[in-house]
Amino acid sequence: MAQKVEDLPDNILLMQYREGSQDAFNILFHRYFDDLLQFAIRQLKDPELAEELVMDMMLKLWQHSDMINIKQLNQYLYRSIKNAIISHWRKKALSYVPLENLTESREPLTSSADYNMMDTEAQKVYQNKLAALSPQRRMVYTMSREQEMTNTEIAQQTNLSVNTVKNHLKASLSYFRENLKTYTEATLILFLSILS
């Protein structure tokens, strides 16, 4: 008896989709969408945002399946949605309102005074730890994380080798992780984008 298309394993359906079968993708979409959505809702506590992130992730899979080497689709999808959620938290933690817009806005920047205090404390801790790095390490780290320069660009501008730049960044990240581990997860939300 022939196996029904709906019962085929993920890797076969993904291969069929790569060969042009829209039905194969639809089966994969329906197989995972609800579970991924529920996972995202539990993490975000925002059903609309969760649905948007899951839909975006599935759209990327649909558009780029030929470029993605996936052995375990289930693991890939959950890792992807976790990354999308972390990316959302990073953006949220680092968002700000420009000073020129403050007078026009009647809404508070945040509903929590604790968040403002936590953000100020986190900024102070980060600046103190950054200042404690050696001048060269601090310069490399700042160029990478704050100016968003690549390792190659930093190496060219500082006359260091790319390996030296990588070593400075690795050591800086280790230093931050070690020295910030005593802070609560809530305080460290600000550092999610800095430490990755």
**Whole-angstrom distance, CA of residue 123 vs CA of residue 190:** 8
Calculate Rg over the CA atoms of the chain.
Answer: 22
Q: What is the pLDDT of residue 122?
A: 60
Phi/psi of residue 118, nearest 5 degrees: -65, -40
Architecture per CATH, 5-94: Orthogonal Bundle (1.10)
Is-contact 10 28, C-beta < 8 A? yes
- Residue 131: name the closest of 162, 175, 170 by CA: 175
Where in the chain are the domains?
5-94, 112-195
Q: What is the CATH number of domain 112-195?
A: 1.10.10.10
SS3 label, residue 9: coil
Residue with tokens 């160029």: 143
pLDDT in tens, the chain (196 residues): 457 878 888 888 888 888 878 888 889 888 999 999 999 999 888 899 899 999 988 888 777 766 556 677 888 888 889 888 888 887 776 554 444 444 444 444 444 444 455 456 666 777 788 888 899 998 988 888 777 788 888 899 889 999 999 898 888 877 777 776 555 444 444 444 444 4
pTM: 0.47
Domain 5-94 identical in fold to domain 112-195: no
For 127-154, how does the pLDDT look when each residue is reduced to its tens digit (9 = 90+)?
788 888 899 998 988 888 777 788 888 8
Q: What is the pLDDT of residue 65?
A: 64
Q: What is the pLDDT of residue 193?
A: 42
